[in-house]
Structure 1
Amino acid sequence: MTLAEILAPTCALFLDFDGTVVDIAPQPEAVRVPAPLLDTLAMLRDYLGGAVAVISGRPIEQIDALLEPLKLPLAGVHGAERRGAGGEVTLLSTHPLELVEQAAVALAREHPGLLIETKRGSLALHYRQAPALEALCVATMQAAVEQSPGLTLLRGKMVVEAKPGGASKGRAIEAFMKEPPFAGRVPLFIGDDVTDEVGFSTVQRLGGLGIKVGDGHTVAWRRLRDPAQLRDELRAALAARTISGAST
């Protein structure tokens, strides 16, 4: 079943960012947004009556900068911050990161291939340039998180992140689904990482559909090969709706 068959005006579309609508880059700041993607997202927003949101591990301000001039509803830092369709921003409580930061900085000093990314209430340690250090990164961050009340450890593709325990992509989607224009629609969430699995579970529990981009075990009901295939299918779905609308 293609997105052209799935995507209907009654859907609410939730999209992860890195590895989903855009290709993963060696460093977070090196990601590139294909020019046609902005037009596609704007058309999707119009087609779905505004019910399109980005659900990302990145902060809201980073997604806004990458999608400029487009400004969509957003959940950033895995749901720790969320901007609704009306522009209102909800911020979850944060917790001290000092011990996590100290541990990550000490490790990065010993291993220059590691990259630390600091966000509001969250700290990510990327080891994409040093994959052999995965076990050490996970153990170091886990030990620091266990000494930091209110934080939880989240593992992703070549990254391990300390974040507020109350934040998750699933909870962010649930919050959107209680608000217009998302309320009453069938939720569709598309993501690529283990951090997106809770989002897949959430939308499917709500009667919607999860779609996994790329390899790996998943609870999602459907899979796409890579971000390029997703972008192609989104464009094809829009084209099919345009043709269908013109013929009625």
Structure 2
Amino acid sequence: MTLVEILHPSCALFLDFDGTMVDIAPQPSAVHVPQPLIGVLQDARDYLQGALAVITGRPIAQIDDFLHPLQLPVAGVHGAERRGRDGQLHLLNAQPLDHVEEAACLLAAQNPGLLVENKRGSLALHYRQRPDLEQLCLQTMEKAVDESPGVTLLRGKMVMEAKPCGASKGNAIEAFLEEQPFAGRRPVFIGDDVTDEAGFHAVQRLGGLGIKVGEGATCATQRLADPLALRQELEAALAARFIRTT
């Protein structure tokens, strides 16, 4: 089943960012956003009457910078922060991450190539440049998180992230679905990482559709090859709307 068949004005579309809309870069700041993507997202938002949101591990401010001048509803930091269509910002209570930050920064100082990213409400340790240190990073982060009440560890592609226990992409999608213009629509979530599995579970439990981008085990029922395939299918789906409505 393609997005031409799936995308319909009655849908609510939720999109992850890195590895889904854009290719993953060696450093988080080095992501390249193909210029046509912004126009495609704007057209998709208009077609869905505003029911399009970004669900990401990045902070909202970074998504706004990457997609400027387009500003969409966004759940950032895996749902620790969320901005609705009305512009209202919702924040989960952030748990103290001082102990996790201290442990991660000490490890990074001792091992060049590791990158610590401090977000509002979470702390990420990237090891893309040092995949040989995966087990050491895991042991360090697990120990620090275990010693930090109210914090859980989320593993992604070459990254480990300490975040509030209540933050998940599934919870963020469900919160959007209680608000206009998302309420009452069939949810479709497209993501690429293990961090997106909670979102797939949520939309499929609610009668929607999860679409996995790339390889790897998943509970999603549909799959796309890569971010380029997603962008091409979105373009094709939006082009086909003119045929379906005439």
TM-score normalized with structure 1 length: 0.98
Q: Which amino acid aligns with 1:223?
A: R
Q: Which amino acid aligns with 2:82?
A: R
1:94 alignment counterpart? 94
By how many angstroms is 1:244 displaced?
2.5
By how many angstroms is 1:56 displaced?
0.3
1:205 alignment counterpart? 205
Aligned ranges for residues 56-67 of structure 1 at < 5 Å?
Answer: 56-67=56-67
Instruction: Detail structure 1 runs of 4+ shifted over 6 Å in the superposition.
Output: none
Aligned ranges for residues 2-17 of structure 1 at < 5 Å?
Answer: 2-17=2-17
1:219 alignment counterpart? 219
**Counterparts of 2:220 and 2:234, CA distance in 1:** 18
Aligned residues: 246
**Counterparts of 1:120 and 1:35, CA distance in 2:** 28
Q: Which amino acid aligns with 1:236?
A: A
2:85 alignment counterpart? 85
Q: Which amino acid aligns with 2:48?
A: L
**In the alignment, does 2:134 pair up with 1:134?**
yes
Alignment RMSD: 0.5
How big is each residue's C-alpha offset from its partner over 1:58-102, in whole Å with a ceiling of 9 and x where there is no partner? Answer: 000000010000000000000000000010010000011111011
**Counterparts of 1:155 and 1:34, CA distance in 2:** 27
By how many angstroms is 1:243 displaced?
2.7
By how many angstroms is 1:9 displaced?
0.4
Which SS does the other structure have where 2:113 is aligned?
Answer: coil
By how many angstroms is 1:242 displaced?
1.9
2:185 alignment counterpart? 185
By how many angstroms is 1:199 displaced?
0.2
Aligned ranges for residues 48-63 of structure 1 at < 5 Å?
Answer: 48-63=48-63
1:29 alignment counterpart? 29
**In the alignment, does 2:65 pair up with 1:45?**
no
Aligned ranges for residues 93-172 of structure 1 at < 5 Å?
Answer: 93-172=93-172
Identity of aligned residues (%): 70
How big is each residue's C-alpha offset from its partner over 1:206-237, in whole Å with a ceiling of 9 and x where there is no partner? Answer: 00000000010000000110000000000000
Structure 2 unaligned residues grouped into runs of 5+: none
Q: Which amino acid aligns with 2:203?
A: V
Structure 1 unaligned residues grouped into runs of 5+: none
TM-score normalized with structure 2 length: 0.99
By how many angstroms is 1:110 displaced?
1.2
2:240 alignment counterpart? 240
Which SS does the other structure have where 2:212 is aligned?
Answer: strand
How big is each residue's C-alpha offset from its partner over 1:140-161, in whole Å with a ceiling of 9 and x where there is no partner? Answer: 0010000001110000000000
**Counterparts of 2:243 and 2:70, CA distance in 1:** 25
Task: Decide which moves more: 236-245 or 41-50.
Answer: 236-245
Q: Which amino acid aligns with 2:225?
A: R
